[in-house]
Amino acid sequence: APTIHRADYAPLAWTVARIDLHFALAPQATVVTSRLACVRNPDAAPGPIVLDGEELETLALTVDGLDPAPGTVRRTESRIEIDVADRDEVALEIVTRINPQANTALSGLYLSRGGYFTQCEAEGFRRITWFPDRPDVMARFTVTLEGDKAACPVLLSNGNLVEEGELPDGRHYARWEDPFPKPCYLFALVAADLVALERRELTASGREVLLQVWVEKGNLDRAGHAMESLVHAMRWDEETFGLELDLDRFMIVAVSDFNMGAMENKGLNIFNAKYVLAKPDTATDVDYEHIESVVAHEYFHNWTGNRVTCRDWFQLTLKEGLTVFRDQQFSADMLACAAGAEGGSSARAVKRIDDVRVLRSAQFPEDAGPMAHPIRPESYQEINNFYTATVYEKGAEVIRMLHTLLGPEGFRNGMDLYFSYHDGQAVTCDDFVNAMAEANGRDLDQFMRWYGQAGTPRLRAQGEWNGADGSYTLTLSQSTQPTPGQPDKLPLVIPVAVGLIGPDGADLPLQLEGEHQPGATTRVLELATETRQWRFTNLAAEPAPSLLRGFSAPVILELDEDDGRLAFRMAHDSDACNRWDAAQRYAERVLLQLAADAAAGRALKVPAPFIDAFGKLLRNELLDPAFRAQALALPGEAYLLERMEPADPAALRAAQLHVGAELGRVLAADWLALAESLVEPGEYRYHPADAGGRALVNLALRYLCAARVDAGVALAAARFDSATNMTDRFGALAALMHGAVPAAEAALAAFYRRYQNDTLVLDKWFALQAGAWRRDAAAAPVLAQVRELLADPAFSPSNPNKVYALLGSFFRANPGEFHLADGSGYEFWAEQVIALDAANPQVAARMARALENWRRFTPALQAAIRPQLERVLAADGLSPDVTEIVEKALA
C-alpha cells in the first residue's frame, strides 16, 4: 500500500455542500442512491471532482441529470474523477449496490444479529457510496431509510426525524435531517429490532432534549447505567466547559459486533454492547467504570471532534487526545464527587493511577518499538493502524501538560477561544495550540514539539544536599532515544511537579533560591532545556525528593533511590500517585532481580524488607481501600518486559509466580483479616467506596490463592458461591483460577452454566482461561486450552469481542504462556492472524501487533518469531493493515 504523508495535504478542488441519501435496505443487495451538491472550493487549485469508493457496484452516475460527456469521467476501483468546466456547482446522482451481509470487516454498512449498522470512521463511508471521503469535506446530510418493518422496526440516522411512513410489501421508511454540516465519517444509520430506554432532560439554557439508549429486547434492564452516565456527561460539559448539547435528540445504540469501543456519530452514537450494557449480575465495577467513561468520551466528541473536526487524519489526536483528557477529568470528578469531601483527593489519584498504568503498559512499549510515532504522525499506510495508545493516551497527556502549564482557568479560556474561532471547521493541532497560546499570552512554539517527536523522554534527576547551608540542588536533564525515522531529538517542555519530604515524612514548604519565603509544598518546575538546576533553600534536614507528582509528564523518571528510600516514600509520600509509584518501583526492582535469577537458574528469594513495606501499606487502614488495591498490585508484565533486557517472559513469569505466592504466604493473616473485615454493604450499588472495598478483597483472595493458603482458598470458593454481583463472583473465580487450585475447575464450569446464554459474560469466561497462569510445569500449556476454546460453540471468529477475549488475552495479556520456548505459540499466532485477516483486517492487525516488539526478546525467542512474521507477510492477499504492522516489525 502507498504511504501517505502529512506534508502532502492539499485542499480538494471540489467539496460537497449537501448530500441526500436514500437506502433501500436488503441484506445482500442494499441500493444506495446519493445526490450530491458539489461546490468548487475557492481556496484550492483547480481540478476535477474526486470521489473515493471501495468494493462498490456502481449502477448509475449522472452529472446535472445527464450522462457525463465522453472523456470527462475517469474511474478506477477506488477513485472517480469528473472534469467539470465553467461551473461552480454541480449535482451528481450516484446509485451503488452493496452487500451488508458479506461485510465481515465491519467497516461501512454491515449486518449484526439481523440488524443494519454502520461504522464510517475512518474510511468506511466510501464502502457505502462514492464520496470525497476525508474529514475536511463537511456536508449537510438528509437520509431516507427504507426497510422491512418486521426485521427492522427501528430506522435511525443522524439529526432529527422529519418523516416516517408505511410502504407496500411490509416495508416502511424514515427520513432524517441533520442540521449540522459534518464530515462523512460521522454519518450513521441503524435499522434493527431494538427498544429504547428514554429520558427527557433540560439543557442549561432550558431546551428540552430527548435521550435514548437503544438495545435489543431483553436488555432494557441493562441500559440504566449508560443513561445515567450520559446525563452526568451532559451536566459536566455544561458546568466545566459551558458546552451544551446542540441537538433535540441524542441516541446511543448498542451493537454486538463492533471493531472498537464506540463511535461518536452526530446524534447517533453507536457502541460496542460491552460499553453500554450493565446490571449487577453481569457487569463488574470495572465494567461500570468503563461504560461511564466511554459514554462520556463519545458524548464529549460532540464538541471536540464533531463541531470542530480534524482537517485530515494526521490530526487525529486533535479530537482523540483532547477527548480522552476530557473523559479522564470527568471520571476523576465523578469519583471525587461520589467519595465526598474527605475521600475526594484519593479517589482522583486512584483514577490518575489507572490512567498512568494504561499509558505505561500500552503506550510506552509502542513508543519504544517499530510502530513508534509522534502523537501527530508524519505518515501512514493504513489509518486504522493509527488509532493508537500514542494518539489517544499520550495525546491526552500532552493536553494534560497544557492544562498544568496554563492552569484550569487558562485552559478554559483557551478552549473558549478555540471554539470561537473554529466552530464548524475542520482544523489542525496547530489551530488548537495557537488558541491556547493566544488566550494565555504564552509562546507555545517549543511545546509543539510534543506533537512531532516520538519516543518516551527520559527524565534524569539528581539531588545534592548541602548540610552547611540547608540547601538542596535538584538537577533535571532530559533525553529521548532515537525512534524509526527520527534519529535526533530536541528538548521538550516538561512540567515536573516536585515536592520535598522531610525526615518525619511530612512535606516541606518549598523556597527556591531568590525567593523571600517558603510557599506551597508542591510546585511545577518547567524543564525546557537539556538540563537545568533548581536550588531549594531554608531546609532543616536532607529531604527526599518526590518528583513528577501526579505523573505531571509522560516521561520515564530516572532517579537513584535505594530500597530504604522507596519504602520511606511508600509509607509517607503525600502524593498518592507517587506513593503508588514508589511501590511499583520497589516491586519492579524485586521482580526484575528475581527474573534474572530465574533465567540464570539461581534460587528465588523475596527480600524481607520488601514484604515488610508491602505489609505496612496493606495494614494501613487510614488509606482508602481503592488506593491500597492499586498500590498492592504488582506491575503488569507488559510494562516489566519493556524494562527487561532482553525480555524473557518465562523468567519474568517465574518471578511473578514466586513473588505473588510469597506475598500471599507471608502476609496471609493480614490478607485474611482484610478480606473478612471489609464486609459487603447491603445491596450492590456502583459506588467508588464500595468498589474500592470489593477490589481490595478480590486482590486479597488473589494473593491467598496464589499462596494456596487453605483458609483463603475456602474464602474465595465461598464468596464465589454466595456472590450477589458479578464483581464478587468474578473476582473470586479469577482468584481461584490464578491459584490454579482444584476448586477452580468446578467454579469455572458453574460460571459457564450460569451464563451460557449471555454472550458478554462469556467473553469474561474466555478471557480468564486465555489469560491463565500455569503453576505446575506438568500441566498442559494454556495454548492447548485456547485452541480447544476456538471450537467452543460460544466462540465466533467474526465477533471482535470474542477474538479480543480469547486471542487478545492470550497474545497480549499472557506473555508467560504465549512465548513458549518451542515456538508453538508463534505458529498459532501466524495461523490466526492470517485467518482473521481474510475476514476483518482491523481485528487481525490488532492481533498482529502482539509481536511488533519481537526484537526485545531473547535471541532464542527471536529466532522462533522471525519465520512466523515472514510467513504472515508472505500470505496471499494480506491486507494493507497487517502488511504495515509486519513490514515495520521486520524492517
Neighbours of 424 (CB within 10 A): 12
* Residue 656 interacts with, from Zn ion, ligand HT7, none (CB under 5-8 Å by kind): none
Shortest distance in whole angstroms from residue 65 CB to Zn ion: 40
Q: Which is nearer to ligand HT7, 257 or 507 (CB)?
A: 257
Using CB under 6 A as the binding rule, the residues of this chain from 362 to 391 that contact ligand HT7 are 384, 387
Q: With CB cut-offs between 5 and 8 Å by kind, which of ligand HT7, Zn ion, none does residue 674 bind?
A: none
Q: Shortest gap between Cβ of 322 and ligand HT7 (angstroms)?
A: 11
Q: Give whichever of 274 and 301 is closer to ligand HT7, judged by the CB atom.
A: 301
Give the neighbor-by-neighbor strand order of the sheet with 79-82.
49-52, 79-82, 73-75
Instruction: Give me 646's grid cell.
Output: 532482553
Q: How far is the CB of 336 from Zn ion (least distance, A)?
A: 23
Residues in contact with Zn ion by the rule CB under 5 A: 320, 323
Exactly one of 121, 123, 298, 366 is catalytic; name it: 298
With CB under 6 A as the contact rule, the residue among 121, 507, 581, 837 that binds ligand HT7 is 121
Contact 324, 301 (CB under 8 A): no
- How near is the Cβ of 502 to ligand HT7 at its closest, in Å? 44
Site map 411..450 versus ligand HT7, x via CB under 6 A: ----------------------------------------
Measured between alpha carbons, how far is 793 from 93 in angstroms, rounded to an integer?
46
Q: Which does 15 bind (CB under 5 to 8 A by kind): Zn ion, ligand HT7, none?
A: none
Q: Is 75 helix (H, G, I), strand (E, B) or coil?
A: strand
Q: How far is the CB of 319 from Zn ion (least distance, A)?
A: 6
- Smallest distance, Å, CB 488 to Zn ion? 32
> Looking at beta carbons only, is 172 or 311 nearer to Zn ion?
311
CA separation, residue 409 to residues 241, 296, 413 (Å): 10, 22, 6
Distance CA 495, CA 457 (A): 12
CA 27 from centre of chain: 32
Which has the closest alpha carbon to 529: 459, 429, 430? Answer: 459
- The least distance separating ligand HT7 from the CB of residue 298, rounded to whole angstroms, comes to 5
Give the CB-nearest residue to ligand HT7. Answer: 260
* CA separation for the pair 285, 730 (Å, rounded): 11
How far is residue 399's CA from residue 393's CA, in Å, rounded to a whole number? 10
Q: Which does 817 bind (CB under 5 to 8 A by kind): Zn ion, ligand HT7, none?
A: none
- CA 211 to mean position of chain CA atoms: 25
In terms of CB distance, is 121 or 285 closer to ligand HT7?
121
Of 219 and 384, CB closest to ligand HT7: 384
**Which of 247/336 has CB closer to ligand HT7?**
247
Residue from 133, 178, 320, 881 touching ligand HT7 (CB under 6 A): that is 320
How many helices (H) and strands (E) the chain has is answered by: 28, 30
CB atoms within 10 A of CB 372: 23
Distance CA 600, CA 605 (A): 14
When the beta carbons of 392 and 730 are compared against Zn ion, the nearer one is 392
Q: According to CB under 6 A, which one of 146, 178, 298, 367 is a site residue for ligand HT7? A: 298
Could you give the CA distance from residue 417 to residue 431 in angstroms, rounded to a whole number? 10
User: Cβ closer to Zn ion: 312 or 320?
Assistant: 320
Ranges of H-type helices in 667-799: 668-677, 688-706, 710-722, 726-739, 743-755, 759-770, 782-790
SS3 category, 390 = helix
328 forms part of the interface with ligand HT7 (CB under 6 A) = no
In the complex, least distance from residue 320 CB atom to Zn ion, rounded to whole angstroms: 5
* Of residues 809, 769, 783, the one with CA closest to residue 638: 809
- Nearest approach, Cβ of 262 to ligand HT7 (angstroms)? 6
Please confirm, yes or no, whether 621 is among the known catalytic residues. Answer: no
Residues in contact with 673: Cβ distance below 8 Å, sequence separation at least 6, in sequence order: none
Q: Which three cell numbers stand for residue 183?
A: 464530515
Does position 260 bind ligand HT7 by CB under 6 A?
yes
Among 20, 264, 382, 662, binds ligand HT7 (CB under 6 A): 264
Q: Indicate the pairing of strand 458-466 with strand 471-479.
A: antiparallel
# residues contacting ligand HT7 (CB under 6 A): 15
Residue 188 interacting partner from ligand HT7, Zn ion, none (CB closer than 5 to 8 Å by kind) = none
260 binds, among Zn ion, ligand HT7, none (CB under 5 to 8 A by kind): ligand HT7
Residue 308, CA distances (Å) to 124, 189, 320, 401, 435 in order: 20, 22, 12, 21, 13
Shortest distance in whole angstroms from residue 309 CB to ligand HT7: 11
Distance between CA atoms of residues 691 and 29, nearest Å:
49
Minimum Å gap between C-beta 237 and Zn ion is 15
Sign of the dihedral through C-alpha 388, 393, 394, 396: positive
Q: Is 257 in the site for ligand HT7 (CB under 6 A)?
A: no
Q: String of b and e for 563-589 (b: at least 16 CB within 10 Å)?
A: eebbbbbbebbbbbbbbbbbbbbbbbb
Task: Report in angstroms how near the CB of residue 392 gets to ligand HT7 at its nearest.
Answer: 7
Report the partner that residue 453 touches, choosing among ligand HT7, Zn ion, none (CB closer than 5 to 8 A by kind). none
> Which range binds ligand HT7 by CB under 6 A, 90-98, 116-124, 414-422, 638-646?
116-124
- For the sheet with 523-527, list strands across it: 523-527, 494-501, 544-547
CB 280 within 8 A of CB 104: no
Residue 190 binds which of ligand HT7, Zn ion, none (CB < 5-8 A, kind-dependent): none
The answer to whether residues 417 and 411 touch, using CB atoms and an 8 Å cutoff, is no
- List C-alpha distances in Å: 535 to 58, 458, 561, 667, 790: 71, 21, 20, 42, 61
* Smaller CB separation from Zn ion, 275 or 447: 275
384 interacts with, out of Zn ion, ligand HT7, none, CB within 5 to 8 A per kind:
ligand HT7
The verdict on 119 binding ligand HT7 (CB under 6 A) reads yes
Report the partner that residue 738 touches, choosing among ligand HT7, Zn ion, none (CB closer than 5 to 8 A by kind): none
Task: Check residue 363 and report its DSSP letter.
Answer: I
Among 297, 351, 658, 846, binds ligand HT7 (CB under 6 A): 297
User: Which member of 94, 122, 188, 556 binds ligand HT7 (CB under 6 A)?
Assistant: 122
Q: By CB under 6 A, is residue 500 in contact with ligand HT7? A: no
Q: Which does 333 bind (CB under 5 to 8 A by kind): ligand HT7, Zn ion, none?
A: none
Site string for ligand HT7, 203-242 (x = CB under 6 A): ----------------------------------------
Q: Which is nearer to ligand HT7, 369 or 841 (CB)?
A: 841
Three cell numbers, residue 781 = 500449556
Least Cβ distance, residue 319 to ligand HT7 (angstroms): 7
Cis peptide before 797 (omega within 30 of 0): no
| Partner from ligand HT7, Zn ion, none binding residue 588, C-beta < 5-8 Å depending on class | none
Could you tell me if 822 and 779 are in contact, meaning their C-beta atoms sit under 8 angstroms apart? no
Contacting residue, 30, 34, 103, 259, with ligand HT7 by CB under 6 A: 259
Q: Which residues contact 793 (CB under 8 A, 6 or more apart)?
A: none
Which residues, at least 6 apart from 852, have a Cβ–Cβ distance to it below 8 Å? 369, 370, 371, 885, 888, 889
Task: Give the containing element (helix H, strand E) for 627.
Answer: helix 625-631
For residue 842, the one-letter residue type is: Q
Q: Which is nearer to Zn ion, 261 or 797 (CB)?
A: 261
At 560, is the secondary structure helix, strand, or coil? coil
The residues annotated with a catalytic role in the active site are: 298
Q: Which residues of this chain interact with ligand HT7, rule CB under 6 A?
A: 119, 121-122, 259-260, 262-264, 297-298, 301, 320, 384, 387, 842
